[in-house]
Amino acid sequence: MTHMLEGKVAVVTGGASGIGLATAERFVSEGAKVVLGDVQEERGREAAARLGDAALYVRTDVTEESSIEALVAAAVDRFGRLDIMHNNAAAQGDVAAIVDLDGEAFESVLRLVTRSVLLGHKYAARQFLRQGGGGSIITTASSASLEAGWGAAGYTIGKHAVLGIVHQAVAEFAGLGIRSNAIAPGIVITPIMVSSFGVPPEKTADFSEFLSSRLGLHNPSGRVAQPDDVAKVALFLASDLASHVNGATINVDGGATVVALGDASAAGVTKAAMEYSAR
Q: Which range scores top for mean pLDDT: 177-181, 191-195, 257-261?
A: 177-181
Q: Domain 9-277 belongs to what topology?
A: Rossmann fold (3.40.50)
- Mean pLDDT for 29-45 is 97
Instruction: Label residue 269 by pLDDT band (50, 70, 90).
Output: low
**What pTM does this model have?**
0.91
238: β partners? none
Instruction: Give catalytic residue positions.
Output: 155
- Mean pLDDT for 161-185 is 98
Instruction: Label residue 273 by pLDDT band (50, 70, 90).
Output: low
Assess whether pLDDT exceeds 70 at residue 105.
yes
Domain limits, the chain: 9-277
pLDDT at 100: 94
Rounded to an integer, what distance in angstroms lies between the CA atom of residue 37 and that of residue 20? 9
